[in-house]
Amino acid sequence: MHLSPYLDDVVVWAPAKVNLYLEVLGKRPDAYHAIETLMVTVGLYDTLVLRDGPSGAVALACTDPTLSAGDDNLVVRAARLLQERTGCPRGCRMRLVKRIPMAAGLAGGSTDAAATLLGLNRLWQLGLTANELARLGAELGSDVPFFFHAPAAWCSGRGEIVSAVPVSGRLDLVLLCPRFGMPTAQVYRQVEVPARPRSGEAIRSALSRGAALEVGRGLFNRLQESAVRLDARIGEYYKRLVSLAPAGVLMSGSGSSLFAVCRSPTEQERLTAVLREEAAEDLFRVFAVRGCV
């Protein structure tokens, strides 16, 4: 996340994420699944603008009219959680410029919640550390703590136990984001837990060394088969990306977005041009982004 003060406002750029590796280890007593995953931020951002509200009220406006700006929005929930836990009497007016597709496996809601905690910590001068903010974030969603350890991290538990991973260089990625979303809970209900989990150490090492080809070869997501069973279009888009012969292709999170790891910016440009021409019917959106930003 990138934060900057601007006149009376604090502005936070909240990045999306993709999962380079995701293994499901089993069902937990709390009904969540235990997982291991390697996540990286990508250069597709929502923007959150925050202004102080001395009255103590919390208000949110959003550029996407289909997204609730009420009490169920993670941005509002994050602001109120921070008020409650710190006893801060101040409020805020917030404006969310939404660019990250929703229900797409890109953690758009989680990154917005993390941006809220980070921005209000600065605006209200609370002095909380990144680790303290991450612990609060874990109460809002499993992916929220990751954004305080970006640009790359190994996440376990239900996703809230986070260890930063060193990276060397950047990844050139192309995102294909269908116009439909995927229901995370249903995808997890469909998953078949393996008797022997697949290791993610090789791709973790490759990312640390900046070896894009090895990263592409090591991509893995246990949830992808589940998502394809629920919606065959995921499989069709996956096959189309594979046919363009990038270094690797994978679905992110529980879907619906997929991404291609490219060998170079030139290959990224080629794939983007081909896919944008095919996207003319507005069935999906295409983004050329850098990973580990």
Provide the CATH number for the domain around residue 193: 3.30.70.890
Q: Of 42, 35, 18, which Cα lies nearest the Cα of 200?
A: 35
pLDDT band for position 154 (50/70/90)?
A: very high
| Distance (Å, whole) CA 284 – CA 275 | 9
In the chain, where do the E strands start and end? Answer: 2-6, 9-27, 33-53, 58-62, 91-97, 152-156, 161-164, 171-178, 220-221, 248-251, 258-262, 284-291
239 carries an active-site annotation: no
193 with 130, same domain? no
154 with 226, same domain? no
Catalytic one among 112, 143, 172, 231?
143
Q: What is the pLDDT of residues 164-217, one digit of tens each?
A: 999 988 999 999 999 999 999 999 999 999 999 999 999 999 999 999 999 999
126 with 9, same domain? yes
pLDDT band for position 45 (50/70/90)?
A: very high
Count of domains forming the chain = 2
State the pLDDT at residue 7. 80
Q: Pick from 141, 164, 187: which residue ends a domain? A: 164
40 with 127, same domain? yes
pLDDT band for position 4 (50/70/90)?
A: confident
159 with 34, same domain? yes
282 carries an active-site annotation: no
pLDDT band for position 54 (50/70/90)?
A: confident
| Greatest pairwise CA separation for the chain in angstroms | 57
55 with 118, same domain? yes
Q: State both tokens at 207.
A: 């990312």
| Distance (Å, whole) CA 235 – CA 269 | 23
pLDDT band for position 282 (50/70/90)?
A: confident
Range of the domain at 246: 171-291
Residue 114 has pLDDT above 90, yes or no: yes
What's the mean pLDDT in 88-106? 96
Residue 31 has pLDDT above 90, yes or no: no
Q: State both tokens at 169.
A: 């260089």
* Chain length of the chain: 293
State the pLDDT at residue 220. 98
State the pLDDT at residue 260. 98
Residue 285 has pLDDT above 90, yes or no: yes
Residue 281 has pLDDT above 80, yes or no: no
State the pLDDT at residue 171. 96
Q: Pick from 110, 139, 164: which residue ends a domain? A: 164
State the pLDDT at residue 241. 98
Q: State both tokens at 174.
A: 């192309």
Q: Please name the helix (run of DSSP H) or strand (run of DSSP E) that holds residue 137, with its range, or none.
A: helix 130-138
Catalytic one among 17, 46, 98, 112?
17
Q: What is the pLDDT of residues 116-137, one digit of tens each?
A: 999 999 999 999 999 999 999 9
